[in-house]
């Protein structure tokens, strides 16, 4: 069965032979089988047709005068544009001794005279189908090569754009970091002046009303300073992640006790009982002591704000089987509401806290610190009441 599509154009066949009788009989049979046939009585005329027209198959008489048929075949096969055209020799039954010369000249096949028309047509179709298949394969390769070239250009363009975008992002990060440093500096400079002035003014005696105003001003300035430091540290962690840390061999239990000591005064003001239970065999890890201290101080600050007077805060430190250190901080306050849980780690999202109670950055900073240490923080409520925050940190990182 032919592999050539039925809707394809008719194949063009060239017959080169100086034996007019053989040429005409072959032409008639080919025409009758729906081929387009061109004829030439010399190798020169045949080559002229080949260079001007699209020929799919050549039949050439082997006994042409001066053995010109072999030279004609060699010329066809040496031509880069024509070499893919199959050449079938027409030989007499007494000329089979020349089969070797046929193949040496580049011939693809031969048929014998007298013609066996079924054999001739079958060979014609076989060589045409082979030529068609080769052309299809070559065209497909060219299409694939073009597609690969196109995709390569697109990929190179994408890589170039990604590199440019990465460079722009790095520049933006640098600009952002510089901007935050500038803002922090511009906030701290006047704050230092205000705090110094307040310290000097505080040495004098004033009325209770004036002292109340000074106390409010002092509290507000300290909160602004704390907020400035917190937002700068949070931005640094968001920009640099783990690279922002200065890791040392630290004892997590000591850091937690340090955080408790820093909070002790205000906890005692509300008569909140705070306990630390250390069940670890070893509580050492690689971490940034400054950031870890800020993280636990922020969590304890949150417990302090939402614990009732004479409440209780419990801290438990333990070793997990997966190589992590676990710190659980619980209180007996009202716990987290659904709204608070949905926004708990977002900056400036303490929706239920009064503006003068919380900066809304504490737990956000705590999570950034824990994430930078490849740890995990979770928050929830415990029964019957109170909040529970658990922090996991790798003891070997």
* Short-list 324, 240, 304, 317, CA closest to 278: 317
213's enclosing H/E stretch is helix 208-240
pLDDT in tens, 277-311: 999 888 999 999 999 999 999 899 888 888 888 88
Judge whether residue 46 has pLDDT over 70. Answer: yes
Q: What is the pLDDT of residue 3?
A: 40
Rg, Å, the chain Cα set: 46
Q: What is the pLDDT of residue 355?
A: 35
Model confidence at 354, in pLDDT bands (50, 70, 90)?
A: very low
Average pLDDT taken over every residue of the chain? 84
Strands (E), the chain: 12-16, 36-40, 57-61, 87-92, 109-113, 248-251, 273-278, 284-287, 312-319, 324-331, 376-381, 387-394
Is this model's pTM higher than 0.85 or not?
no
Model confidence at 72, in pLDDT bands (50, 70, 90)?
A: very high
Distance of CA 381 to the CA centre of its chain: 38
Q: Please provide residue 57's backbone torsions phi and psi, each rounded to the nearest 5 degrees.
A: -155, 140
> DSSP letters of 3-60?
-S-TTSPPPEEEEE-S-HHHHHHHHHHHHHTT-EEEEESSHHHHHHHHHHS--SEEEE
Distance of CA 346 to the CA centre of its chain: 27
Judge whether residue 126 has pLDDT over 80. Answer: yes
* Euclidean distance between CA atoms 380 and 394, whole angstroms: 21
Residue 376 bridge partners (DSSP)? 392
Strands (E), 79-226: 87-92, 109-113
């Amino acid at each position: 069965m032919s592999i050539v599509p039925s809707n394809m154009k008719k194949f063009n066949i060239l017959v080169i032979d100086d034996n007019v009788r053989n040429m005409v009989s072959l032409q008639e049979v080919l025409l009758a089988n729906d081929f387009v046939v061109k004829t030439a009585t010399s190798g020169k005329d045949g080559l002229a047709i080949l260079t001007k027209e699209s020929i799919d198959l050549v039949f050439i008489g082997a006994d042409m005068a001066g053995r010109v048929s072999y030279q004609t075949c060699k010329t066809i096969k040496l031509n880069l544009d024509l070499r893919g055209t199959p050449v079938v020799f027409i030989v007499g039954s007494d000329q089979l001794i020349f089969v070797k010369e046929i193949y040496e000249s580049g011939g693809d096949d031969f048929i014998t005279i007298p013609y066996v028309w079924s054999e001739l047509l079958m060979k014609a179709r076989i060589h045409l189908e082979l030529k068609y298949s080769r052309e299809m394969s070559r065209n497909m390769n060219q299409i694939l090569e073009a597609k690969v070239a196109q995709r390569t250009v697109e990929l190179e363009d994408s890589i170039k754009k990604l590199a440019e975008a990465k460079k722009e992002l790095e520049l933006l990060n640098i600009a952002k970091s510089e901007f935050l440093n500038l803002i922090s500096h511009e906030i701290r400079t006047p704050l230092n002046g205000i705090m110094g002035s307040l310290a000097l003014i505080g040495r004098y005696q004033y009325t209770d009303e004036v002292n109340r105003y000074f106390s409010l001003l002092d509290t507000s300035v300290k909160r602004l300073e704390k907020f400035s430091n917190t937002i700068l540290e949070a931005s640094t962690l968001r920009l640099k992640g783990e690279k922002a840390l200065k890791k040392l061999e630290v004892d997590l239990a000591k850091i937690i006790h340090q955080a408790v000591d820093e909070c002790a005064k205000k906890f005692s003001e509300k008569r909140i009982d705070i306990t630390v239970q250390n069940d670890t065999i070893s509580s050492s890890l690689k971490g940034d002591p400054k950031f870890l201290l800020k993280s636990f101080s922020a969590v304890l600050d949150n417990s302090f704000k939402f614990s009732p007077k004479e409440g209780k805060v419990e801290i438990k430190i333990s070793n997990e089987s997966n190589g992590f250190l676990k710190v659980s901080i619980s209180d007996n306050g009202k716990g987290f509401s659904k709204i608070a849980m949905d926004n708990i780690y977002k900056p400036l999202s303490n929706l239920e806290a009064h503006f003068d109670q919380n900066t809304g950055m504490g737990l956000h900073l705590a999570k950034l610190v824990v994430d930078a240490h490849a740890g995990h923080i979770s928050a929830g409520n415990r029964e019957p009441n109170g909040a529970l925050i658990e922090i996991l940190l790798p003891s070997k990182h």
